[in-house]
Amino acid sequence: MVADKMQTLVAAGCFCFCSIGMLYFNKIAVGAFPLECTLVAVQMAFAAVSLLVGGWQSLHVGSAKDLLRWCMVVPFFTGMLLSSILALKHASMSLVITLRALSPLGSLLVERFYPDPLEVSTGVVLSIIVMGLGGTMYCSQLDHSHLQGVFWVILNAIIAVCDRLLQRLMLSKDQNPVDLSKTTCTLINNGCGLIPVAIAAYCMGEFSEVPHVVAQLTLWHKVVIALTCVIGLGISYCGIWAQSLISATSFLVMTNANKFVIIGIEAFGLHTKVLSRTQTIGASVTLIGACLYAQARKKIEAKAKEKQPILPVQNEAKKVQM
């Protein structure tokens, strides 16, 4: 039990660290290298090649059926990456983070129909509503120039919910898991996802612009793009690792909450965003809602543990009698 908790903590911590870094460096990268599809394709190609070269020994495929089942995740994984890049290009990081606050509510409703349904309490629902209230407060102060950005953020949130729900269903041992290693899942996501992204880049004429854009990159921008490739590999693997251990709803809440660090960096560190008092309060309320969700889930898990010890003891007693 302690080992399981430690694994969950490490997986969630690694994902949060990569998530914050990816959001921050992608914002810089897409500004310096405004060829969105090509940028995502480079990141995915790096991840796929790295896994083939350095992780081939851990590749495992149980059956062709499992492989085909996991391929259903690829379109959503790819769509999530592309919509995330476009959202960062047309909107501030603060807007991207806060508008996704309601995404756990959608996953919460769907997970109620899973083979092992997610237990819901009043506290869980109220905490998500609080996060939604904070997001509404933040968006109430947006000007019209952010309307296009809002579209991409909402699209990204919808695709992210679908991606996490599918991954949870196929990764969790108590749902309907596939017999694939985490390395294999990560490789499929990036290797197969690379194909449609590269086609999209070609159709949009990005490849012809690459030499001109690369020639204008500074050393710092090249370092940033390289970092997004490395962190992209980390977030791909850690995302699958963490998703196999916690529910899709908890994963989305964790993702939204950890990125509020970026709001502070953007507003008070980089000084690239000026937040009004209402926006600051809204962002804070959303973070408080995430904390309330964590407490609500903790109470549900504590109640579940209280019901568990009785049956194992009875079973052991029967074995002794026999």
Alpha-carbon span 151 to 224, nearest angstrom: 27
pLDDT band at 1 (very low <50, low <70, confident <90, very high): low
Is 20 in contact with 228 (CB distance < 8 Å)? no
Query: Among 70-79, 99-108, 254-263, whose mean pLDDT is lowest?
Result: 254-263
- Copy the structure tokens of residue 264: 């502070």
Handedness of CA 157, 163, 164, 166 (dihedral sign): positive
- What pLDDT score was predicted for residue 311? 46
> Comparing 84-93, 154-163, 215-224, 262-271, which segment has the lowest mean pLDDT?
262-271
Position 207 pLDDT exceeds 80: yes
Report how far residue 246's alpha carbon sits from residue 11's, in angstroms, rounded to the nearest whole number.
10
Residue-averaged pLDDT of the chain? 81
Decide if pLDDT at 316 tops 50.
no
Token pair recorded at residue 62 = 């149980």
Question: Which pLDDT value is given to residue 53?
Answer: 93
pLDDT confidence of residue 212: 93
User: Does residue 223 carry a pLDDT above 70?
Assistant: yes
Distance (Å, whole) CA 316 – CA 170: 32
Among 133-147, 200-214, 224-238, which is the least confidently predicted range?
133-147
Tokens coding 5:
């908790």
Whole-angstrom Cα distance, residue 321 to residue 144?
A: 75
Higher pLDDT among residues 258 and 60, named by residue: 60
Q: Residue 309: what pLDDT?
A: 52
Report pLDDT digits (tens) over 46-68. 999 999 998 889 999 999 999 99
Provide the percentage of residues in the chain whose pLDDT is more than 90: 31
Nearest partner of 20 among 123, 96, 77, judged by Cα: 96
- Report the 10 Å Cβ neighbour count for 2: 6
CB 166 within 8 A of CB 239: no
Q: Which two tokens stand for residue 153?
A: 């953020």
Least confident of 5-9, 14-18, 97-101, 226-230: 97-101
181: left (phi over 0), alpha (psi -120 to 50) or beta: beta
How much is the average pLDDT of 79-86? 83
Determine the pLDDT at residue 225: 95
Q: Point out which residues pair with 180 in neighbouring strands.
A: 61
- Please report which helix (H) or strand (E) contains residue 202, including its range: helix 182-203
Distance in angstroms (rounded) separating the CA atoms of residues 308 and 1: 13
Mean pLDDT for 107-131 is: 81
Query: Which pLDDT does position 60 carry in this prediction?
Result: 92
- Please count the residues of the chain: 322
> What's the rounded Cα separation, in Å, for the pair 315 and 270?
60
Q: Please, are residues 95 and 153 in contact by the beta-carbon 8 Å criterion?
A: yes
Which has the higher per-residue pLDDT, 176 or 46?
A: 46
Assess whether pLDDT exceeds 70 at residue 265. no
Q: Print burial letters for 53-91: b (CB count within 10 Å at least 16), e (below 16).
A: eebeeeeeeeeeebbebbeebbbbbbbbbbbbbbbbbbb
Stated pTM of the model: 0.76
Instruction: Determine phi and psi for 71, rounding to 5 degrees.
Output: -60, -20
